[in-house]
A and B are shown apart, each in its own frame.
Chain A
Amino acid sequence: MAEPNPPEKPVAPAEPVSKPPPKAPKKGWSNPALRMLGVPRISLPSRNWMIFWTVLGSLGGGVAYDKYQQSQIRKKWMEEVKVLGEQIYSSDKLPRKLTIYIAPPPNDFLDSSYRIFRKFVKPVLNASALDYDIFTENRQGDIRATVAKKIREMRLAQLEKQKADAEALKQKQYNKSWTKFFKEDVPAFFTRSKKQNDDDDHLVARTELYSAKDVLGLYQYVDTIEPHSEDEFNVQTAGGVICIGRGAYKEYLTGVHEGLLGPLEKPQELIDEEIRVAEEKQKKREEDEKNGVKTSTDDDDDEDVEGGKKKKDPVTKPFITPEQYAAAQLAPELDLSKVVTDDNHIPVLFEQPVYVYPVPNLLGFLTIPRKIYRYYTTRELADDYGHRTTAISFNKIRPFEYKDVFQAKEEELDWPKKWVETGKTKNSEWVQELAVDERVTSRMRVYDHEL
């Protein structure tokens, strides 16, 4: 055991001398004990490696730090609203329900604005125990069309109800009148004696007369629970509409205007235009068929693909344009002197306060430096959005002012210029100035996190 060690010792120091004659022994720190264990000299890596590790470390560290801060900030805002979620709740109550509209940013997918909601807004809403419905769109105009349609349907239902009421009133008056007495009651009096014989063998189901509970003498102590939404009781703070993205906000406001100010039926010009477009498409298809008679199989495939794509109807055009707002009448069917509620006594959508989050989303090659900067400072966004969301949780509401038309307008700076140009030629709703009518906006309220 002792013998093989001594001959090895002189060999080991001989190696570095013989192998790299130009290189001096590595600079660094060593310890005889460590050397005996086979640990090489501890030294700094070479210059190039140093550069590589420093760059990698600082870039990666920046990302990690930002992510960590984001989660800390999220926790901070969740703690802030936690009080709301911790109150004791009986089972006959339903929490406040928000309506959330999410639109994709221009030239991008829905996911990029959805992510902002999921990361910064949703955790705070959940911590404050708010319920919400999410509506997303993949095409421009969907939100506007659905909002307007809902309001129109409500107006139509109200109109029906008014008609039915008028009819009932008429019937009541008729029942009291002399005309009815002579026309119906007098003849009925004479025919009644004949009919009486037929009524005798009329059968009734047992369950209609009494139920097992009545006979057994059992009583139910627990009544069936009918849950009521909180929104029914506090009209001022009920619900809430949140738009993710300036486009969604524009569409929502335009939709409310269209629903309240627009006509109930589709205007004739729109119907004509739709027919014209459909005819043009039909013509085009026929021409295509004529040209491609030989390759009939390919045509069939194309049509199948088109059929699959066209399953969704195109978005309905607005029934009213902003220029017509001033001349239009404000929903004559609705009683606007008080807060309009639905059948469950919950204030309808346009009576609920509104809020909008801008969606910072940069596109294109030249914006890459700004994109990188934003990526490394996402924590600021998280902080801002958490702060904004607490305003919704704590119901910081003020009436709509004219400046609220420009809410989240800073997002429009991010929109690609080309997209805006094509939008202008296509007459897109997103790129036009948001036009509002005083009569509609005076009823609206907004959340404000600066209150």
Chain B
Amino acid sequence: MFGLGGAAPQVSSQQKLQAAEAELDMVTGMFNQLVSQCHNKCINKSYSESDVNKQEALCLDRCVSKYFETNVQVGENMQKLGQSGAFMGRQ
């Protein structure tokens, strides 16, 4: 009785853990990408100033919001593709 009751949730919790790990990986990866990309694009590499100046601040604001928005849209599109089954030539 206990074996039966315990077996099913154990599998699902492992799956949940895996899903959570994948999610964390994805979010961390995206965040790292975003930081490096926006740093490359917006911050003046001569580092003559210790603080961020107005132009860099504005550029960072735009860069981050654009990155997130694009990421969400791409994710949504991929999900749609995955659901329709047409992704990567799978019919």
Contacts and interface: CB of A to CB of B under 8 A. Distances in A.
Contacts of B51: 88-90
B61 to A, nearest CB: 7
B83 interface: no
Contact of B52 (A89, A126, A127, A131): A89
18 contacts: A85-B53, A85-B54, A86-B54, A86-B55, A87-B53, A87-B54, A88-B51, A88-B52, A89-B51, A89-B53, A89-B56, A90-B51, A93-B57, A94-B61, A95-B54, A129-B55, A129-B57, A131-B58
A396 B19 CA distance: 57
A84 interface: yes
B45 to A, nearest CB: 16
Interface hub of A85, A90, A126, A127 (most chain B Cβ within 10 A)? A85
Interface of B: 49, 51-58, 61
Nearest to B62: A131
A91 interface: yes
A89 B61 contact: no
Contacts of A88: 49, 51-54
A258 B57 CA distance: 38
Contacts of A127: 55
Contacts of B57: 89, 91, 93, 95, 129
A129 B58 contact: yes
Nearest to B60: A91
A129 B59 CA distance: 8
User: Which 8 A-B pairs rank lowest in CB-CB distance, beginning with the nearest?
Assistant: A85-B55, A129-B54, A89-B57, A89-B54, A88-B51, A129-B55, A129-B58, A86-B53
A126 B51 CA distance: 19
Interface in A86-114: 86-91, 93-95
B2 to A, nearest CB: 28
Contacts of A91: 52, 57
Interface of A: 84-91, 93-95, 126-127, 129-131
A25 B57 CA distance: 71
Contacts of A130: 58
B47 to A, nearest CB: 14
B60 to A, nearest CB: 9
A50 B58 CA distance: 54
Contacts of A129: 54-55, 57-58
Nearest to A90: B51
A403 to B, nearest CB: 34
A95 B53 contact: no
B91 to A, nearest CB: 28
A87 B51 CA distance: 9
A389 B61 CA distance: 23
B64 to A, nearest CB: 12
A90 B57 CA distance: 8
Contacts of B55: 85-86, 126-127, 129
A89 B56 CA distance: 9
A95 B49 contact: no
B62 to A, nearest CB: 8
A86 B52 CA distance: 9
A93 B60 CA distance: 13
Contacts of B49: 88
B59 to A, nearest CB: 8
Nearest to A93: B57
Given A86-B54, A89-B56, 12 more contacts: A85-B54, A85-B58, A87-B53, A88-B49, A88-B54, A89-B51, A89-B57, A90-B51, A93-B57, A95-B54, A129-B57, A131-B58
B52 A95 contact: no
A176 to B, nearest CB: 50
Nearest to A227: B61
Nearest to A86: B53
A88 B56 CA distance: 9
Contacts of A89: 51-54, 56-57
A93 to B, nearest CB: 8
Contacts of A94: 61
A90 B60 CA distance: 12
A416 B58 CA distance: 41
Contacts of B58: 85, 95, 129-131
A90 to B, nearest CB: 8
Contacts of A126: 55
A395 to B, nearest CB: 15
Contacts of A86: 53-55
A205 to B, nearest CB: 22
